[in-house]
Structure 1
Amino acid sequence: MSSDPAADLTADTAADLALLARATGYALEALAEVTGADLDRPTPCPGWDLRALLVHLADAAGSLTASARTGDLAPPGPPGPGAADPVAVARDRLLVLLDAASSAGDGAPARAAAVEVAAHGWDVGRACGSARPMPPRLAADLLAVATSSLPDALRPGLFAAPVDLPAAAPAEDHLVAFLGRRPAASPVSGTAS
């Protein structure tokens, strides 16, 4: 840390914005793999097909954009009616979120958004059958943010209970397990709702 707190805040904010940019890039790569035939596929989110997940991702990006602009976060509601092209809507709203977070100059919304965006990027990839892993450094950075900022009291309605994993599992598996998802390639114990 420097002796100038404003310089540290700026460095922290820049790091948070860079994390959001990396998470958004990961999610956009997953969205690029979606075809029209994939929209009815199940996702790692119980009860949601890919179309519903994409609508939720777009809604969440909209809520997070509002938070970046105003400082107030209204949690996204249940998936709304499907758009003609839910992939395009989700992609466009992710790009608007990235721009709004960059303009806001506040890292807190960017940190929260990075976890949400990357988690749903992972969900999209799994729904499409993609085996492309999350970059290990991105997964480790997001895991650190998620475990330090998601108290159990906020979990209901947002994330299922964490899934137990062996300590040696990769950071990607620990991240998605912490968020209540079952990593496909890792042996797990416990249940996720």
Structure 2
Amino acid sequence: MSGDPKADTAADLALLARATGYALEGLAEVTRADLGRPTPCPGWDLRALLVHLADAAGSLTALARTGDLVPPGPPGHGGADPAAVARNRLLVLLDAASSAGYGTAARAAAVEVAAHGWDVGRACGSARPMPPRLAADLLAVATSSLPDALRPVSFAAPVDLPATAPAEDRLVAFLGRRPAGSPVSGTAS
């Protein structure tokens, strides 16, 4: 945070754009055959995760446009390709956040979007790493702004890792996921 609200908003929006880009890369790898695969989120296959990501992006778009966080409606998007729905909603979120000068809330959205981008990659068996600088920036946001009261609702307990682990591993471990190289066991949401 620079102390300059305009510069901070620009940095927050840039972080959201980078996180969205990372998630979109993962969504591009999804095939219909992948939709039944397990994810790092307990009880969710890839289809359920994609529906959640699309719904979260829709809720965050409403927040950017109206200032009110609107919970997602009933799960599901008919027969639509859930990866395409998630992709479209992420692009709408990014546009709405930029148009509204979304600011501080963009940081929280960036963590959510990137974490689920990571989940998608793991479910698809991708070895595509999160860019190190993005992971470090998101780790700083997550560790400084995730209230303990939100953890049981949104994230599993942190996974212990040494401080010398790469930022990507520390980020996903902080969010209750097992870092790459660990089996997908369903540990987070």
TM-score above 0.5: yes
Deviations 1:82-136 (A, max 9, x none): 5420011000000000000001113122111100000000000000000010000
8 Å contact from structure 2 (residues 40, 187) kept in 1: no
8 Å contact from structure 2 (residues 176, 188) kept in 1: yes
Change (3 A) 1:2 1:72: closer
Following superposition, the deviation at residue 183 of structure 1 comes to 0.5
- CA distance in 2 between counterparts of 1:16 and 1:3 reads 13
Aligned to 1:8: none
- CA distance in 2 between counterparts of 1:128 and 1:190 reads 14
Instruction: Pick 1 or 2: higher relative contact order, CA cutoff 8 A, min separation 6.
Output: 2
Change (3 A) 1:171 1:69: same
Following superposition, the deviation at residue 140 of structure 1 comes to 0.3
SS in 1 for 2:154: coil
Q: Determine what percentage of the aligned residue pairs are the same residue.
A: 90
Aligned to 1:156: 152
8 Å contact from structure 2 (residues 16, 110) kept in 1: yes
- CA distance in 2 between counterparts of 1:126 and 1:44 reads 7
SS in 1 for 2:104: helix
Tell whether 2:114 aligns with 1:118: yes
Change (3 A) 1:163 1:190: farther
Following superposition, the deviation at residue 43 of structure 1 comes to 0.3
- CA distance in 2 between counterparts of 1:3 and 1:34 reads 40
8 Å contact from structure 1 (residues 169, 186) kept in 2: no
Aligned to 1:98: 94
Give the unaligned 5+ runs of structure 2. Answer: none
8 Å contact from structure 2 (residues 139, 170) kept in 1: yes
Deviations 1:14-47 (A, max 9, x none): 0000000000000000000001100000000010
Change (3 A) 1:43 1:91: same
Change (3 A) 1:173 1:2: closer
Aligned to 1:56: 52
Deviations 1:54-86 (A, max 9, x none): 000000000000111111223447743554200
Change (3 A) 1:55 1:82: farther
Note the 1:42-81 alignment, pairs <5 A.
Answer: 42-76=38-72, 79-80=75-76
8 Å contact from structure 1 (residues 53, 79) kept in 2: no
Give the unaligned 5+ runs of structure 1. Answer: 6-10
TM-score by length of 1: 0.89
SS in 1 for 2:105: helix
SS in 1 for 2:149: helix
8 Å contact from structure 1 (residues 136, 171) kept in 2: yes
Change (3 A) 1:167 1:186: farther
- CA distance in 1 between counterparts of 2:124 and 2:13 reads 28
TM-score by length of 2: 0.90
Q: Work out which of the two has the higher radius of gyration on C-alpha atoms and give 1 or 2.
A: 1
- CA distance in 1 between counterparts of 2:186 and 2:160 reads 6
SS in 2 for 1:92: helix
8 Å contact from structure 2 (residues 42, 185) kept in 1: no
